[in-house]
Chain A
Amino acid sequence: KAGVTQTPRYLIKTRGQQVTLSCSPISGHRSVSWYQQTPGQGLQFLFEYFSETQRNKGNFPGRFSGRQFSNSRSEMNVSTLELGDSALYLCASSSGTSPGGDEQFFGPGTRLTVL
């Protein structure tokens, strides 16, 4: 089975711009979760999509948004970029059907640098 893929792998943007990241989950998985990883804050949960609906959300401002398509692929958008948004953005794939959560498998991540 192919793993989780994320594109692009690296991005450089300037403050005020917006960015869209893409994630394709493992075949058959319907849940995609997004995380931000920084050296200071560690891995922080952004949101989870299941069957095209946002099911859970972390404590991030509204500049961070996402969506999921009928083929389970997901995109994450960050508008009005700030320097503090520089981070590794990870998506994780799971079946999404186990009550209370199940194993999540991570993609390689997108390294975003905001100048």
Chain B
Amino acid sequence: EAQVTQNPRYLITVTGKKLTVTCSQNMNHEYMSWYRQDPGLGLRQIYYSMNVEVTDKGDVPEGYKVSRKEKRNFPLILESPSPNQTSLYFCASSPYYHPDSGVTYEQYFGPGTRLTVT
């Protein structure tokens, strides 16, 4: 089954304790992205990756890191979590994007990770 998986689905942690949220897709997609969803703000992009070893900042990258060592995985790292990072996080992937042939906009989302930082 084609899917994007995230782990853990729920996490409660304390300020300053490093954590990693994993994301994996089995669709061989080039493009992957992380979003956070907050009440009244919709989904905001944190980081994205257009290919292996290529990552770039989205709209709200502060306090987050990502890596893309292999195509299928795109972990989100919070080196020193703070309470304002309490949110619902979604990983998404999209088929191959090439600037000459046009952008593929449809993204496939994982089930979400609800993070609480106390």
Does chain A bind chain B? no
